[in-house]
């Protein structure tokens, strides 16, 4: 009976002893960490030296990687004056110059600096059927186009209509030292092309002339309507007006005037959006860059070396402590 009472008591003592040992071990580890931190603080010279070495290595690595690394830019463009096919041809030419490594072309024609290296350039339309449907394309043209195209993931269809799309995505891969000004230089290369300049001048002149002609016609209609409303001898319900050997009712002239005014508003809006042949729509956040700490090597390298130094010191002292503890047992 006494033996049975002693057994649970002995087990309780063993548990207490085990808990005390765990507590002592935990306190020992905490004390060890405290000592390591204290040693690091007291050894600030060694720590400073590690940080300086890390910063130097980081600066060297950053310069090396900067020369070899690249950025990507995705730009939304609006192409005016039905110049889509010409822009695509110009981009094909640029890609040929990239393959042939024609440095003079990029320095003299596009005016990119030595640190602004263009690795790749691609363009694709933002597909919008409204851009196609607003054009006056007859049914036979559409049928012939569809019969002669072999559709491969809609690529052929997209290329067939690419000059009719207003908006396009321009994707660039360019050296990491390049900036948004580098992209602007490429767009400027398009807009200073003599062919594009000619298209722009011709289209803007046509818009200006159409607006002027419409305004002149609107003034004539106003005079006719004023004559109609002030001439008491005319029967208002059945009177007709003769213009260029054509007969018009007053309400028909009013409708023509409204249509001309709406057309002028559209043309004025188009003129505002057509300052250049190729226009950047989104000129912010052009470059896609990683913002992680590992990209800033001047910070990353010292932090990594300090972490390795602390970890190594703790492991060495932990090993020494455990080795000493084993010798005492």
User: Six-digit token pair at 102?
Assistant: 């024609």
Domains in the chain: boundaries: 2-63+294-328, 70-193+278-289, 203-272
Say which residue, 150 or 56, is predicted with more confidence: 56
Average pLDDT, the chain: 77
Work out the pLDDT band at 157, boundaries 50, 70, 90: very low
Entry field: residues in the chain: 329
pLDDT at 131: 55
pLDDT at 263: 94
Instruction: Tell me yes or no: is domain 70-193+278-289 CATH 1.10.10.
Output: no
Is the per-residue pLDDT at 212 higher than 80?
A: yes
Is the per-residue pLDDT at 151 higher than 60?
A: no
**SS3 category, 101:** coil
Strands 167-175 and 246-248 turn out to be unpaired
Digit-coded pLDDT (tens) for 30-79: 776 777 677 666 666 777 888 888 888 877 777 766 555 678 888 899 99
Say which residue, 305 or 42, is predicted with more confidence: 305
Run of H or E including 173: strand 167-175
Question: CB–CB of 183/75 below 8 Å?
Answer: yes
Angle at 246 between CA 241 and CA 247, to 5 degrees: 40
Work out the pLDDT band at 240, boundaries 50, 70, 90: low
């Amino acid at each position: 009976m006494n033996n049975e009472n002693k057994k649970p008591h002995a087990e309780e003592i063993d548990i207490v002893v085990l808990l005390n040992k765990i507590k002592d071990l935990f306190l020992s580890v905490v004390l060890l960490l405290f000592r390591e931190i204290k040693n690091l603080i007291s050894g600030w010279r060694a720590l400073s030296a590690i940080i300086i070495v890390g910063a130097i290595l980081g600066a060297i690595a950053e310069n090396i990687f900067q020369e070899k690394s690249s950025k990507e830019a995705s730009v939304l463009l609006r192409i005016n004056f039905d110049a889509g096919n010409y822009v695509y041809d110009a981009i094909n030419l640029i890609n040929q110059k990239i393959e042939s490594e024609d440095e003079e072309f990029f320095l003299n024609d596009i005016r990119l600096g030595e640190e602004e290296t263009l690795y790749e350039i691609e363009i694709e339309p933002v597909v919008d059927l409204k851009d196609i449907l607003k054009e006056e394309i007859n049914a036979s043209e559409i049928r012939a186009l569809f019969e002669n195209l072999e559709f491969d993931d809609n690529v052929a269809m997209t290329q067939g209509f690419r000059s009719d799309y207003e908006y396009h995505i321009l994707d660039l891969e360019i050296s990491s030292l390049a900036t948004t000004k580098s992209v602007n230089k490429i767009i400027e290369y398009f807009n200073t092309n003599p062919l594009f300049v000619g298209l722009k001048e011709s289209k803007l002149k046509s818009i200006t002339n159409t607006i002027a002609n419409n305004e002149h016609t609107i003034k004539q209609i106003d005079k006719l309507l004023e004559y109609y409303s002030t001439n008491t001898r005319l029967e208002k319900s059945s009177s007709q007006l003769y213009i260029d050997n054509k007969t018009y009712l007053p309400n028909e002239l009013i409708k023509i005037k409204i249509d001309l005014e709406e057309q002028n508003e559209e043309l004025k809006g188009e003129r505002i959006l057509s300052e250049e042949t190729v226009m950047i729509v989104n000129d912010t956040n052009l470059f896609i860059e990683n913002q992680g700490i590992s990209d800033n090597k001047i910070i990353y390298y010292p932090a990594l070396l300090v972490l390795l130094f602390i970890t190594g010191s703790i492991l060495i002292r932990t090993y020494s402590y455990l080795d000493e503890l084993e010798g005492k047992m």
